[in-house]
Chain A
Amino acid sequence: MSYLPFGPIHPALKEPLRIKLKTEGERVVDAEVDLGFIYRGAEQIARGKPWQKVAYLTERICGICSDAHPHTFIEGLEAISDCVPPVRAQYSRVIMGELNRIHSHLIANAIWFLAVEHETLGIYNLNIREKVMDLLEMISGNRVLYSWNLVGGVRMDFKESHLKKILENLKEVESEVYRYRKMFKSDALLGLRSHDVGKMSKEDAIDVRAVGPVARGSGVKFDWRTKHPTYVDYFDFQPVWRDECDNYARVMMRFDEVLDSIKIIRRAVEELPDGPIRKECEIPRGSIDYRYEAPRGELAYIFETAQHGIINDITIRTPTIPNLEACVKHMFRDSPTIADAVAIYQTIDPCIACTERVVIVDEKGNENDFRGMQNVLKELKALKNKKK
């Protein structure tokens, strides 16, 4: 039995973290994960700033979910102030969020295909993703950082030409994604690398609280969009799920969700109502725990505001935190080769820079204190007790 260090600098890793693989020959028996190479302290910067500035900061936490982070934060603020944005703004948010999801899933699959050395499909996926990126750039102005959401609505309105271009590009994306899905399904080599590799049962997924496509690939039928007011009111949303519980299920999940998102966007574009896109909202003192389905899974923003929309305290829980634990605890077990461990690691679509959240370690007291989360939760409890 020996230990094989994997990272923090490794050609297969897109972001720095260290995974210690405990191996018996080529077979992986156990694994340990070591984070802390890329901590940035977004919470500390956000504390004491007005919401307008924090919205731009949250956008910069993750480069790929750059719509999901401000989306969650802004909708949390709206929930605090009991302010419902106009219907056209809600539809615009759905369109942007789903486009964001498509490009995130396509890049995740591309990276997985590159990790298993199937470069053709990898580059094909990246190529078709470019169509979606063009749409995002056309709508919001920039390719990565959209600055799209704000309390009470969205910044800019769709033009007729934009809607036409969205439908045109999505038609192309859909036909290509169907083709890639078929290629992935029928390819023998990809089947060897994906079927029955990195198994995680439904019970295990629930046990480690896996979220997003990772959980839905293991048969957990849960999606935060089923509880989102816009999706409940205007779209009959049903989550997609699979029960193979392996790499194949997780990669296939992403293709299926892309096709599902395309359907949602089509419906939103066709039914897009007329009206204003912004509304005035006053933000009072309050605190909230708001969750939204980011492309990678559940994204939680727990924060507290002072008067006039100043952020007192904020905690961000990104989807990779539970998914990484699911990967290390259950998926690496009995992975037949080291190369498969790399492929398994890529199926959870890890984003390490988002995951590096705050920890204050009290060495003398032997207590690991997650600052923020605990404090805010305590205060939330105290507030609820007061109301009673």
Chain B
Amino acid sequence: MSSAIWYLYEFARKKWLERFLDATTDPEIAETPSRFRDFPEVEKELCISCGACVFSCPSPGAIKLVRGEEEDTIFPVIDEGSCIRCGFCVEVCPTEPKTLKSGENSLIMEEYRILPHEKVYIADEYLCIRCKKCLDACKVGAISYQDNLISIDQSKCVACGDCIEACPVKGAIKETYIINLDEQKQITNTLIESLENTINTEMEKIRKLPDFDPSGIVKLEFPLKEIIEKAHEIIINEEMILKLMEKVTDRLKMNVIVWNEELCNGCRLCVDECPVGALSYDENTGKVQRDEKTCLRCSICHQTCPFGVPELYVARFLLKDDVILITLKPSKISIRS
């Protein structure tokens, strides 16, 4: 009973009845609010094809850079099926006025760098020849020339890589991946270890050949395929692995010690000389043994040994297509007499 009375009381109110008398559609409902983020609109003429929108997009495949019919026109195209309308691409777009527009996000000019980035570009002042080609190549004005030095402003850089393409000197602008640093270290270590292992095993074979010349140059080849497969277990990104291989082998100079155990007479001169204690005398065999993991390749044992047990080679590398070319040269460090 009480609820029936309540209903009568509720529906007999003047305010409730007035709703029906002046019932009109609120015009504000039909209008889109000024901040509404729709799918971004693209103005093709303004695009500088830096790719910041593609790097920033949290939804895979929602935005792509496409080459237009006219020459040298590249612009972003948005796939409305996978776009989540977050408006992040609009926020990070570096052009002024912005190429992409969506709600009031296009009014946000980036004061602080919030673009997620994987790479960092740094100019090397010793290799740089000051040709200033990168100044013209950079589309966002991140590179500046002051006091005879080229410097890259990290807060403006969008990591497009155009400066490296324009640079005539190899290595004057360095590209470094800043993500997965631990994994990068692992890959570098496995590459160097496997290079050293192959050199050791190949040298043992070559040494036994009748026409072996101890003072001549030895050339070896190391196929990349196996090491790339190993690296794939650590990181999936193939471009990153290849860049890393190139970076490691470029200008790398490695001391290689080949230990001829047969020549050892057990004089133990080298054991005390070794700075890290990598050499130890084995009483059963009467010979000195070397621990490869602690060895520094400092060549002191090579200089000390009167019988020529440790042979020191200097190895240099070159990455060519899918092999690493290795050149081994006997070291010129003289043996102490």
Contacts and interface: CB of A to CB of B under 8 A. Distances in A.
B178 interface: yes
Contacts of A52: 56, 58, 88, 114-116
B156 to A, nearest CB: 14
Contact of A142 (B58, B85, B179): B85
Given A56-B88, A147-B87, A150-B114, A188 B33 contact: no
Contacts of A306: 179-181
A169 to B, nearest CB: 12
Given A52-B58, A279-B112, 11 more contacts: A50-B116, A56-B58, A120-B10, A138-B33, A141-B36, A141-B105, A142-B85, A152-B112, A280-B111, A309-B116, A310-B179
B212 interface: no
A251 to B, nearest CB: 18
B287 interface: no
A167 interface: no
Contact of A187 (B3, B36, B117): B3
A278 B112 contact: yes
A123 B35 CA distance: 28
Contacts of A53: 58, 116
A189 B3 CA distance: 8
A268 interface: no
28 contacts: A52-B58, A56-B84, A56-B86, A60-B84, A137-B36, A138-B33, A139-B35, A141-B35, A141-B36, A141-B37, A141-B87, A142-B85, A145-B84, A147-B86, A147-B88, A150-B114, A152-B112, A155-B105, A155-B108, A156-B108, A187-B6, A188-B2, A280-B112, A306-B179, A307-B178, A307-B181, A308-B178, A308-B179
Interface in A21-62: 50-53, 56-57, 60
A309 B3 CA distance: 59
A278 B58 contact: no
Main secondary structure of the interface of B (DSSP, over half): loop
A226 interface: no
Nearest to B7: A120
A140 interface: yes
A138 B2 contact: no
Contacts of A151: 114
A93 B88 CA distance: 19
B114 A188 contact: no
Interface in B114-157: 114-117
A306 B181 CA distance: 9
Interface residues of B, number: 30
Interface in B25-76: 33, 35-37, 56, 58
Interface of A: 50-53, 56-57, 60, 120, 137-142, 145, 147, 150-152, 155-156, 183, 186-189, 278-280, 306-310
B104 interface: yes
Given A56-B88, A57-B58, A278-B112, A137 B33 contact: yes
A278 B111 contact: yes
Contacts of B266: none
A102 B43 CA distance: 40
**Which 6 pairs from chain A and chain B are nearest by CB?**
A50-B116, A141-B35, A53-B58, A280-B112, A56-B58, A52-B116
Nearest to A309: B116
A188 B3 contact: yes
Contacts of B2: 188
Contacts of B171: none
Contacts of A50: 116
Nearest to B116: A50
A307 B117 CA distance: 11
Contacts of A308: 117, 178-179
Contacts of B179: 306, 308, 310
A306 B104 CA distance: 32
Nearest to B84: A56
A9 to B, nearest CB: 28
Nearest to A118: B3
Nearest to B85: A142
Nearest to A151: B114
Contacts of B178: 307-308
Nearest to B6: A187
A141 B33 contact: yes
Contacts of B37: 141-142, 147
B103 interface: yes
A139 B33 CA distance: 9
Contacts of B33: 137-138, 141
A194 B259 CA distance: 87
Contact of A156 (B36, B104, B112): B104
B243 to A, nearest CB: 18
A69 B17 CA distance: 41
A280 B3 CA distance: 59
A370 B111 CA distance: 41
A179 B58 CA distance: 44
Contacts of A186: 6
Contacts of A280: 111-112
B35 A138 contact: yes
Contacts of B181: 306-307
A145 B37 CA distance: 10
Nearest to B114: A52
